[in-house]
Amino acid sequence: MNTISLKLPDRLLERLEEAARARGTTKSSLVRECLEQSLDARPVGGKATCYDLASDLAGSLKGLPRDLATNPKHMEDFGQ
């Protein structure tokens, strides 16, 4: 395995140390895991789609009709 070094602001290092301690893992292991997740979440070429950018918001609002995005009835009087 290769080795790299990086500079972190104090607060980010503190957060990394706290998270690693809470998970019972090393800082290196946690950085590898986070980096891998971040790289896997982005399409090759670095161009994210609208869905990529907002996928964590999908389904985040409660109490709305299940067909809100597909039923034109819900758009009646919109913008009036």
Domains in the chain: boundaries: 9-42
- Coil, strand or helix at 69: coil
- Give the pLDDT confidence score for residue 36 in this predicted structure: 92
- Give the pLDDT confidence score for residue 54 in this predicted structure: 83
Closest by alpha carbon to 1, among 45, 32, 33, 36?
32
Residue-by-residue pLDDT tens, the chain, 80 positions = 999 999 999 999 999 999 999 999 999 999 999 999 988 877 667 677 787 778 888 777 788 888 888 899 988 888 88
- Give the pLDDT confidence score for residue 41 in this predicted structure: 77
